Amino acid sequence: MITPSEPRNPFGLGRGPLARHQLRALTRGPTLRTRAIPFSDFAPEHYAQEALALASEQYGALARGERSAIGLFARLAAALDAFAAPREFVLAATAAAHDEARHAQYCEEFAVRCGFDASAPRATLAPVEPEPRSLIELDVAMLRSVALSETLAAALLMACRRIAREPVSRALLTTLIADEIHHARLGWYYAASRAPSWNAEERQQVADALAEAVICIEAEFHWGRDAAPPFDRPTRALGVLRTDLQRACIQDVVENEILPGLDALGLNASKAWQRRVSCTD
């Protein structure tokens, strides 16, 4: 068990790439993030089939993940409303569900252009997280499934965009990143608003749940998508993340974004990370 501590400056949420973005309002007005992506400009004949296959696999997996997040945010919006959270949090979670539906459509569109078979039966989505039955369960869900998951998603998408040279994949990734940062902020801001009201027992419950989540991150993201040497460059041009880059990205975002954010909330997640059993090949 990791003993939590008192929260300190919970808005100091890290020193890495996400922290360099300006703080964003939880509700939004007109935005440039919905501008069209020029899918018709993509010319798959310029890429080897080996590169297209890995791109199809990655963006198809992204589509599945985004599709599962639609229901997640819808359930969280309902729970936020049921537990009388401030209106801006309910609105932001509702907007996020719409974002994820758009993301799923975009990712599947690009995956199809890379060779993904959209007519095949869809893979079973990951088991859904049960609806929060108490306010503290909602707090855990907002931290684990929004703050952590969306911070990881944004960081991985940034890593993909850094290596992408294909204009269409870069446009797609840029659109996804803008929204995922917004979603991550929702989770962190919600947690920052709730942390001061936790009693010792509640803080321990949250700390235990987040410690478990933190120590599982490396295993979950241990493998990327590796192309054979002749096809490595075109695969990277499509924004496909190979194993070494993915592992480096995960270590960076955990140590420079997630752990400082959780520690600032008084959850002592850094101790859980230090005690983890590192993954081996």
pLDDT at 281: 43
Helix (H, G, I), strand (E, B) or coil at 126: coil
- H-only helix segments in the chain: 49-82, 87-113, 135-141, 149-163, 167-194, 200-220, 232-237, 243-253, 259-264, 269-275
* CA gap 17, 260 in Å, rounded: 13
Higher local confidence (pLDDT), 262 or 125: 262
Class of domain 49-275: mainly alpha
Q: What percent of the chain has pLDDT over 90?
A: 75
Could you report how far apart the first and last alpha carbons of the chain are, in Å?
28
pLDDT at 38 over 60: yes
124 pLDDT band (50/70/90 cuts)? low
pLDDT at 154 over 80: yes
Count of positions (residues) in the chain: 281
pLDDT at 179: 93
Which pTM does this prediction carry? 0.88
pLDDT at 4: 72
**Which whole-number Å values give the CA distances from 122 to 52, 60, 63, 67, 224, in the listed order?**
20, 10, 10, 11, 22
94 pLDDT band (50/70/90 cuts)? very high
pLDDT at 111 over 80: yes
Average pLDDT over residues 139-167: 96
pLDDT at 18 over 50: no
CA pseudo-torsion sign 245, 14, 149, 254: positive
* CA gap 139, 75 in Å, rounded: 13
Instruction: Provide the mean pLDDT of the chain.
Output: 87
Q: Rounded to 5 degrees, what are φ and ψ at 245?
A: -70, -35
pLDDT at 130: 75
Q: What percent of the chain has pLDDT over 70?
A: 83
For residue 97, which of 117, 120, 81 has the smallest C-alpha distance? 81
Q: What is the DSSP letter of 108?
A: H
pLDDT at 157 over 80: yes
Average pLDDT over residues 252-267: 92
pLDDT at 277: 66
Q: Domain extents for the chain?
A: 49-275
pLDDT at 243 over 80: yes
Lowest mean pLDDT among 16-30, 111-125, 208-222: 16-30
pLDDT at 121 over 70: no
For residue 217, which of 159, 153, 165, 135 has the smallest C-alpha distance? 153
